[in-house]
Amino acid sequence: MPTTTLPKRRESRGDQRRHQIFKSLHDCILAKGYVKTTLADVAEGAGMSASHLLYYFKGKEDILEQYFDSVSVRFMARIAEFSSQEPRVQIQSLADFWFKGETSTIKEIGFMLECFGAAVNDDVLRITKAEFDESCKAHLVDIFQASPAVFMESTKDAAEISYALMIGLRSAVYFDSDINLDEAHRLFLNSILSMSGHT
């Protein structure tokens, strides 16, 4: 399916091409998963030949690595926007970000989980994820420091637990039928509010 995109002057031709490839990879992963996605699949979605993908990227892994990085950057920017809000509102924003909206559908969580699995044995993905985690936890520490009270030994512990809860609940939403996005949202929100003394 060829996509006719308007030529933006801000983006070089190469960047446009790269974005088409990312978009196609994302579509393919949501449809059949990264492992089962072939370069031919991605190429067709991006309207080019498979061999031409390797003009822009070193290989299949490289496409995922760079795409994962771009998603990571986008997410960090989004989360950074919350910083100006009151702690209580910030917590609400985070709950919404991780358990509501288009970035947190079941399929998107599946994409995330598959990336984590791939990251286990891919240095580039692993480092990207580690930096993303670090950034998220730093934000959480800030939130807890600005909060009324923390029922934890330290704000660092509270951040660690909050982040683990987010990862674990999203995983549960994907795999387990006893919990859905709304319930996970409630559990996450209530837990963080409670930990931060927002009674």
Partner DNA sequence: CGTATTTCTTGAATATAATTCAAAATACAC
Partner DNA sequence: GTGTATTTTGAATTATATTCAAGAAATACG
Task: Closer to DNA by CB, 55 or 175: give it.
Answer: 55
Residues in binding contact with a copy of itself, number by CB under 8 A: 44
Among 48-56, 64-72, 86-94, 157-165, the segment contacting a copy of itself (CB under 8 A): 157-165
Q: Nearest to residue 62, comparing CAs of 127, 124, 129, 126?
A: 124
Q: Which of 21, 115, 140, 189 binds a copy of itself (CB under 8 A)?
A: 115
Question: Can you tell me the distance from the alpha carbon of 33 to that of 81, in angstroms, rounded to the nearest whole number?
Answer: 31
Question: Can you tell me the distance from the alpha carbon of 45 to that of 22, in angstroms, rounded to the nearest whole number?
Answer: 10
Is 113 within 8 Å of 156 (Cβ atoms)? no
Question: Can you tell me the distance from the alpha carbon of 97 to that of 148, in angstroms, rounded to the nearest whole number?
Answer: 23
* Residue 77, number of CB atoms within 10 A of its CB: 9
Q: Which of 10, 120, 123, 199 binds a copy of itself (CB under 8 A)?
A: 120
Q: What is the nearest approach in angstroms of DNA to the Cβ of residue 96? A: 36
Task: Closer to a copy of itself by CB, 46 or 184: give it.
Answer: 184
Q: What is the nearest approach in angstroms of DNA to the Cβ of residue 124? A: 13
Work out whether 61 is an interface residue with DNA (CB under 7 A): yes
Distances 110 to 33, 48, 56, 107 between C-alpha atoms, Å: 8, 27, 26, 5
Task: Closer to DNA by CB, 3 or 190: give it.
Answer: 3
Task: Closer to DNA by CB, 48 or 71: give it.
Answer: 48
Contacts with DNA in 21-60 (CB under 7 A)? 37-40, 48-52, 54-55, 58-60
Question: Can you tell me the distance from the alpha carbon of 65 to that of 50, in angstroms, rounded to the nearest whole number?
Answer: 18
Q: What is the DSSP letter of 197?
A: T
Question: Can you tell me the distance from the alpha carbon of 167 to that of 148, in angstroms, rounded to the nearest whole number?
Answer: 25
Work out whether 66 is an interface residue with DNA (CB under 7 A): no
Contacts with DNA in 100-119 (CB under 7 A)? none
Q: What is the DSSP letter of 83?
A: G
Task: Closer to a copy of itself by CB, 3 or 106: give it.
Answer: 106
Find which of DNA, a copy of itself, none residue 187 binds, CB within 5 to 8 Å per kind: a copy of itself
Interface contacts to DNA, rule CB under 7 A = 12-14, 17, 37-40, 48-52, 54-55, 58-61
